Amino acid sequence: MILILKNGATDDQIDHVIQKVESMGFQTHLSRGTFRTIIGMIGDESLTTEQQLQSIPGVHQVIPVLPPYKLASREAHPESSVIDVSGVKIGGGNLAMIAGPCSVEDRDRMMRIGESVVKSGANLFRGGAYKPRTSPYAFQGLGEAGLKILREVGDAFGVPVVTEITDPRNVELVAEYSDMLQVGARNMQNFVLLTEVGKSERPVLLKRGMAATIQDLLMSAEYVLSQGNPNVVLCERGIKSFDPSTRNLYDVAAVPVVQGLTHLPIIVDPSHATGRPDLIPPCALAGLAAGADGVHIEVHDCPEEAKSDGAQALLPEQYNEIVEKMAAMAELLGKTIS
Amino acid sequence: MILILKNGATDDQIDHVIQKVESMGFQTHLSRGTFRTIIGMIGDESLTTEQQLQSIPGVHQVIPVLPPYKLASREAHPESSVIDVSGVKIGGGNLAMIAGPCSVEDRDRMMRIGESVVKSGANLFRGGAYKPRTSPYAFQGLGEAGLKILREVGDAFGVPVVTEITDPRNVELVAEYSDMLQVGARNMQNFVLLTEVGKSERPVLLKRGMAATIQDLLMSAEYVLSQGNPNVVLCERGIKSFDPSTRNLYDVAAVPVVQGLTHLPIIVDPSHATGRPDLIPPCALAGLAAGADGVHIEVHDCPEEAKSDGAQALLPEQYNEIVEKMAAMAELLGKTIS
Amino acid sequence: MILILKNGATDDQIDHVIQKVESMGFQTHLSRGTFRTIIGMIGDESLTTEQQLQSIPGVHQVIPVLPPYKLASREAHPESSVIDVSGVKIGGGNLAMIAGPCSVEDRDRMMRIGESVVKSGANLFRGGAYKPRTSPYAFQGLGEAGLKILREVGDAFGVPVVTEITDPRNVELVAEYSDMLQVGARNMQNFVLLTEVGKSERPVLLKRGMAATIQDLLMSAEYVLSQGNPNVVLCERGIKSFDPSTRNLYDVAAVPVVQGLTHLPIIVDPSHATGRPDLIPPCALAGLAAGADGVHIEVHDCPEEAKSDGAQALLPEQYNEIVEKMAAMAELLGKTIS
Amino acid sequence: MILILKNGATDDQIDHVIQKVESMGFQTHLSRGTFRTIIGMIGDESLTTEQQLQSIPGVHQVIPVLPPYKLASREAHPESSVIDVSGVKIGGGNLAMIAGPCSVEDRDRMMRIGESVVKSGANLFRGGAYKPRTSPYAFQGLGEAGLKILREVGDAFGVPVVTEITDPRNVELVAEYSDMLQVGARNMQNFVLLTEVGKSERPVLLKRGMAATIQDLLMSAEYVLSQGNPNVVLCERGIKSFDPSTRNLYDVAAVPVVQGLTHLPIIVDPSHATGRPDLIPPCALAGLAAGADGVHIEVHDCPEEAKSDGAQALLPEQYNEIVEKMAAMAELLGKTIS
């Protein structure tokens, strides 16, 4: 870290800062400028935190020079990770094509939607059995019955399945029925849940929170990695902004930013990012063009009957059409759909 | 709700919308304007959702006319609620003065800080035993040992204590040692946790998430209320914004906005809102002047040794000084500190 | 418009609202729901404003049903406009490839950069002679001398030129030397300037302001159109957000949103949107994939010597490389570069 | 400035950075850490810019250590400035009480409103004759006729007047009729306009742009100061955010932040910040409590007939009531209303 001292920091303050920092196990390097005194700290940054250093009297600003996410950082692990979800590869040129309804609903409908999206080219089926709903009065998901249906669809059409986990007490149960555990945007900083999925052997789909910086997202990935689970796929799904035109603001630049900082794959979710079916196709293509390692799209065969989020789903025939375009673009970009 | 149909909606679409809405149990009221057709829905809005209506072909916009938080709304409960936390009243003219360190640390320090803030005028002591930290490598709190120290401090100086709950499996344990359960900003939409604290008998301090609209905050309060726990105190603690001058953006207007929409009390937390000790005093006074039902301030006697968030804490003597000013302002505003 | 009255609006208030609205020249349509009274207004919405209606006692919410930008709206003009900039077509499947340095600098450098980008495939050359700089002490542009150099480069390599206009007193001068007038993000709501460029015959490149909603952008376009200048090209160049990873937040979904609302073309500017050269190529491709009608990229042959914004420019060889990729993608998408 | 070099910067790159920086006139101070090399630059920071330094190959991050606003900074001018507007003092403990309608309308109404607000305690009368309106079809102000009415009202009741300037060609005209020139939020980075008002002798009321950081605001003030006009009063009036509850987000913490960074006074405008009359009184008091040097409130005697922004105005009797409360709070805070 680098400490920039306050204008007019006294010699006593400077001495105290140096002594304090050296007592933490760092070597220091003092530089007095015309206007500011700077102290370089040489040593293991994990021995302290920005906040602690900020609290030392006389310190104006603390500049970290290493990313605080060690396991997730590309500096530590230069080669892109390829995550294997029961045979489907994500990252390193392999695209995840995740599709399915927001919520798991009745078995017949799920079989119909599953058959359709797999035929179109999806390689992972999704559906929520435990739904984090803004309203306590809204449909909260079918629970274990939903997990069973989801598993059945995956088995019937030969694709792995991914579903959301919301309760640290349910990790084992959900992992039993599914191939990949999704941590939703609202739980991205639910560290208790991250710690539990980090102990699971299932790959994790970690969605970016609506107020999360990219560093926040990578710190949450670090929680999972630090528990021993190296299989994390990140997902950009829109952040908060001031324009009501779209439900969230689709941060497509996050894809190359993340890829520069971490070896973990990152996919995009234009359904949640925009909340509007007409915007899903252009935003899906934009995500691929920006370099995303996959695309997550909600599909429902009768949105007006969907138990949740119907308004942001594509119809199966619309999904079929966009997959064709995505496949053509993948070819142009030299990417593979496993 | 009111449905505004798309420009050029066909008669078939209009008929389908009406039939669909009536099948949900609503009466409808059709109005054809020069440019748009509007359908008023008369009936119980909880029978459907905006999203479901939005999914019906031909619907352009859905306008809800009632707040979706029924128990929390002031329409349903016009009189301001007064929440009693082991004898300390919050709301309806009674101010909560919550103070203490970010984390519970060693017993002697806690006793020292506790004695000081109570002497200054705090009526609730705070400290975290389970800390939601952005980094998995940061201090995560003392756990149950911390809860015991917190209880001891509260008992020693005769004030109730409030502490954060992060794990739905811990509600009973935390409730045993503390008088009020805090749900932090990052867990504001952890619906599993909200449901569990809703089953507790302890009052809840619910902090606004960094990306939460005021409606989101009230919906989260509704989760707790709908489980049978009516004792919720809301807390404004800053939301995300683009200016790095302060850690978060202190939304002081949220205080009167919330008070217009709900009967629940709302306090402010200038420590987390600004992240800068020099801004805590003016922002604490601004919160009171805007009508807040209390002020939450972090206090530590040696910020550079604090195990978390030292940089945003006041020193005990600074807290003493600001309490004097807050007391004078409370008198001007006709508020009471119980 | 639709007026939703306040809960508990009295009969006197309802009568007053109706009388007031009818006095403005509207017919009204009253609908009393279980909880709310709604008044539909039938007539020409331009006779009043949301704010005026909002001020009538008893009115809770005003819902406009028509876009307030009449000339710019796609409802009024369903076919996509193709803007002709001295022979280069933009919109309706024709891509603008705008490139050049941030500021016009010395003649030799400009000739070198111009030659290179035109050879790579740029069809419009850009460079600022009047620079809106955050600091009064920064380089403010070469003024008319810069305009002359810009013109010379355009003529030498046979491409039209675009340059920024910042002063309403300079419109004629700038129009004399350039083929297209750029209104920058910070001037997007400088209505005096918009009115003046609206009186010019030159096409206008209107950049989205950093705090502008899409509706704000279209209202600013309406200013230009309403003065008689129909040739407006919009430009997404990033809006404010909370994540410091990129200079602004690149709102790629704005491209299809805008194209749904207006017949005017929209291009993207990944240089200003991200502020990082490594992000320009992926974000340029993402913009095209989302359907943009062109891409604006800053190019400089020695960024460390650039008089402004060097840090967000591509080198000429990098520009050459990304144009190749953009051309391949244009072909895939069925777009033409004129 | 401090340059942090990229991880793995080569010796050649380091040498080049040093040579480049020294060629700009700086001394350098090299520090090689375990992970990063740091170069301190000693000398006059105005010789270069962050962007230029950022463009040098091998540079990872540029950390400025001095504020780029020299004349506005408190470091340069520790004592708070008191601005004199035709006898009314603002700053240094003196409060501006600015009130009046959004737009200047007919003379009789203006006289009525002016008489009322001055009687209530306003010491500056406001009203717009040139209105920056989002829509080209909205009322644009009475122009010079409006300026005359404004002047007449000020003279009749013995208070100075402030009005908005939107066109650099109008500065002399507006300055002839008014005591203070307002630069509105949408023109905060209209540098041509700032330069012109900087040449005027009239004090300037500079409103914060909706996407402006506090540093942006101070840089805009610097534009005015650097032209020789030292009389700038800043105004917080809300910034963009994601919550539609209020028109803008009232950043009350900006008041003490600004006061720490500059000697210029800062007032608050709760009318524009919130857009809701019911929120003006609590937010006005919050602004004063946070330390603001004055309060700007819109007042209209018949909001439903106001030609602009009626929905955010107080009635004269409401203004009278809030002035009483503000006066009591001013006394508590030791402030004076001149």
Q: Is residue D261 part of a domain?
A: yes
Question: What value does the mean pLDDT of chain D take?
Answer: 94
For residue A67, name the pLDDT band (cuts at 50, 70, 90). confident
Q: Please tell me the predicted confidence (pLDDT) of residue C52.
A: 85
- Single-letter code of the amino acid located at D80: S
Which one has a higher pLDDT value, C138 or B180?
B180
Q: Please tell me the predicted confidence (pLDDT) of residue B238.
A: 97
CA distance B56 to B26: 15
CA distance D135 to D144: 21
Residue from the list A7, A29, A35 with its beta carbon closest to the beta carbon of D31: A29
Q: How many CB atoms lie within 10 A of CB B60?
A: 15
End residue of a domain, out of B63, B96, B113: B63
Q: Is residue D68 part of a domain?
A: no
A156 in the same domain as A9: no
Q: Please tell me the predicted confidence (pLDDT) of residue A170.
A: 96
D265 in the same domain as D123: yes
CA distance C178 to C162: 6
Spatial CA neighbour of C294 closest among C319, C330, C320, C240: C330
Lowest mean pLDDT among A150-159, C46-55, C199-208, D318-327: C46-55
Q: What is the CATH number of the domain that holds D13?
A: 3.30.70.1140
pLDDT digits (tens, 9 = 90+) for A183-225: 999 999 999 999 999 999 999 999 999 999 999 999 999 999 9
| Residue C46 pLDDT > 80 | no
Cβ neighbours for A328, distance < 8 A, ≥ 6 positions apart: C332
Question: What value does the mean pLDDT of chain A take?
Answer: 94
Whose tokens are 């610097």? That residue is: D222
Burial of C50 (C-beta count, 10 Å sphere; 0-12/13-18/19+)? middle
Chain D contact present for C206, CB below 8 A: no
End residue of a domain, out of B63, B95, B116: B63
Alpha helix (H) ranges present in chain A? Answer: 11-23, 50-54, 107-120, 144-157, 171-177, 191-199, 214-226, 254-261, 270-274, 280-289, 316-333
- For residue A149, the enclosing domain spans 83-337
Question: What value does the mean pLDDT of chain C take?
Answer: 94
Q: Is residue B169 part of a domain?
A: yes
| Residue C33 pLDDT > 80 | no
pLDDT digits (tens, 9 = 90+) for C181-206: 999 999 999 999 999 999 999 999 99
Question: Rounded to 5 degrees, what are φ and ψ at B32?
Answer: -95, 115
Asked whether the beta carbons of residue C288 and residue A288 sit closer than 8 angstroms, the reply is: no
Share of chain A above pLDDT 90, in %: 79
Q: What is the CATH number of the domain that holds B333?
A: 3.20.20.70
Residues of B in contact with C67 (CB under 8 A): none
Whose tokens are 């019906």? That residue is: B56
CA distance A196 to D154: 69
Residue from the list B33, B61, B75 with its beta carbon closest to the beta carbon of C40: B33
Which helix (H) or strand (E) covers residue C174, if one does? helix C171-177
pLDDT digits (tens, 9 = 90+) for C237-287: 999 999 999 999 999 999 999 999 999 999 999 999 999 999 999 999 999
Residues of C in contact with B66 (CB under 8 A): 35-36
Cβ neighbours for B241, distance < 8 A, ≥ 6 positions apart: B248, B249, C242, D239, D241, D249, D251
CA distance D44 to D7: 27
Q: Is residue B74 part of a domain?
A: no
Q: Please tell me the predicted confidence (pLDDT) of residue D312.
A: 87
- The answer to whether B282 touches B314, Cβ cutoff 8 Å, is no
Burial of D152 (C-beta count, 10 Å sphere; 0-12/13-18/19+)? middle
Asked whether the beta carbons of residue D55 and residue C303 sit closer than 8 angstroms, the reply is: yes
**DSSP-derived secondary structure for C107-140:** HHHHHHHHHHHHHHT-SEEE-BSS---SSTTS--
Residues in chain D: 338
Chain B contact present for A68, CB below 8 A: yes
Q: Please tell me the predicted confidence (pLDDT) of residue D254.
A: 98
Mean pLDDT of A224-245: 96
Lowest mean pLDDT among C206-210, D49-53, D120-124: D49-53
Spatial CA neighbour of C223 closest among C64, C91, C69, C84: C69
CA distance D283 to D321: 14
Tell me how many helices (H) and strands (E) chain C has.
Answer: 11, 15
B332 in the same domain as B201: yes
Å from D105 to nearest chain A CA?
A: 32
Q: Kindly give the pairing relationship between strand D161-164 and strand A2-5.
A: unpaired
3-state class (DSSP) for residue D67: coil
SS (H, E, C) D188-237: CCCHHHHHHHHHCCCCEEEECCCCCCHHHHHHHHHHHHHCCCCCEEEEEC
Chain A contact present for C63, CB below 8 A: no
Q: Please tell me the predicted confidence (pLDDT) of residue B30.
A: 86
Q: How many CB atoms lie within 10 A of CB A317?
A: 11
> What ipTM did this prediction achieve?
0.95
Mean pLDDT of C124-150: 94
- Single-letter code of the amino acid located at D147: L
CA distance A110 to A129: 12
- The answer to whether D284 touches D255, Cβ cutoff 8 Å, is no
Asked whether the beta carbons of residue D291 and residue B278 sit closer than 8 angstroms, the reply is: no
D46 token code pair: 């105005």
3-state class (DSSP) for residue B10: coil
Residue from the list D41, D63, D242 with its beta carbon closest to the beta carbon of A241: D242
Diameter over CA atoms, chain B: 76
- The answer to whether B88 touches B282, Cβ cutoff 8 Å, is no
**DSSP-derived secondary structure for B160-221:** -EEEE---GGGHHHHHHH-SEEEEPGGGTT-HHHHHHHHHSSS-EEEEPPTT--HHHHHHHH
Chain C contact present for B31, CB below 8 A: yes
Asked whether the beta carbons of residue D20 and residue C135 sit closer than 8 angstroms, the reply is: no
Number of domains in chain A: 2
B241 in the same domain as B198: yes
- The answer to whether B68 touches B216, Cβ cutoff 8 Å, is no
Burial of B11 (C-beta count, 10 Å sphere; 0-12/13-18/19+)? exposed
Asked whether the beta carbons of residue C190 and residue D191 sit closer than 8 angstroms, the reply is: no
C134 in the same domain as C251: yes
Q: Is residue D178 part of a domain?
A: yes
Q: Please tell me the predicted confidence (pLDDT) of residue C44.
A: 80
pLDDT digits (tens, 9 = 90+) for D251-308: 999 999 999 999 999 999 999 999 999 999 999 999 999 999 999 999 999 988 888 8
- The answer to whether B318 touches B116, Cβ cutoff 8 Å, is no
Lowest mean pLDDT among A94-108, B39-53, B91-105, D220-234: B39-53
Helix A316-333 and helix A280-289, axial crossing angle in degrees, nearest 10: 20
Which helix (H) or strand (E) covers residue C221, if one does? helix C214-226
Q: Please tell me the predicted confidence (pLDDT) of residue B97.
A: 98
D156 in the same domain as D27: no
A156 in the same domain as A34: no
Whose tokens are 């307030």? That residue is: C68
Which subunits sit against C, judged by 3+ Cβ pairs under 8 A? A, B, D
- The answer to whether D161 touches D178, Cβ cutoff 8 Å, is yes
Q: Kindly give the pairing relationship between strand A124-126 and strand A94-100.
A: parallel
D259 in the same domain as D216: yes
Give the A:C interface size as CB pairs under 8 Å.
116
Residue in chain A closest to D243 (alpha carbons) equals A242
- The answer to whether D190 touches C190, Cβ cutoff 8 Å, is yes
- D residues 226-245 near B, CB within 8 Å? 239-245
Instruction: For C165-310, list the strands marked E by DSSP.
Output: 180-183, 204-207, 232-236, 266-268, 294-298
Q: Please tell me the predicted confidence (pLDDT) of residue D20.
A: 92
Chain D contact present for B35, CB below 8 A: no
Q: Please tell me the predicted confidence (pLDDT) of residue B285.
A: 98
pLDDT digits (tens, 9 = 90+) for C305-334: 888 877 889 999 999 999 999 999 999 999
C246 token code pair: 């990129």
D52 in the same domain as D95: no
Which one has a higher pLDDT value, A48 or A158?
A158
B165 in the same domain as B59: no
D135 in the same domain as D92: yes
Q: Is residue B70 part of a domain?
A: no
- CB contact burial D289-310 (16+ within 10 A = b; e otherwise): bbbbbbbbbbbbeebbebbbbb
pLDDT digits (tens, 9 = 90+) for D36-87: 788 888 888 777 888 889 889 899 889 887 888 999 999 889 999 999 999 9
A145 token code pair: 């019955």
Asked whether the beta carbons of residue B283 and residue D239 sit closer than 8 angstroms, the reply is: no
Q: Is residue B87 part of a domain?
A: yes
Residues with pLDDT less than 70, chain B: 34
D141 token code pair: 């102000």
Q: What is the CA radius of gyration of chain D?
A: 23
CA distance B270 to B93: 20
Spatial CA neighbour of C62 closest among C73, C75, C51: C51
CA distance A212 to A210: 6
**DSSP secondary-structure letter at C285?**
H
Residue from the list D193, D210, D311 with its beta carbon closest to the beta carbon of C51: D311
Chain C contact present for B35, CB below 8 A: yes
Asked whether the beta carbons of residue C226 and residue D137 sit closer than 8 angstroms, the reply is: yes
Helix C107-120 and helix C316-333, axial crossing angle in degrees, nearest 10: 30
Helix C214-226 and helix C191-199, axial crossing angle in degrees, nearest 10: 40
CA distance B321 to B331: 16
| Residue A310 pLDDT > 80 | no
C310 token code pair: 């060097």
Chain C contact present for A331, CB below 8 A: no
CA distances from A256 to A84, A206, A210, A289, C278 (A): 21, 17, 18, 10, 8
Q: Is residue C76 part of a domain?
A: no
D100 in the same domain as D33: no
Spatial CA neighbour of D99 closest among D132, D121, D129, D72: D121
CA distance B235 to B249: 14
**Which residues partner with A205 through β-bridges?**
A182, A233
End residue of a domain, out of C63, C95, C116: C63
CA distance C287 to C329: 11
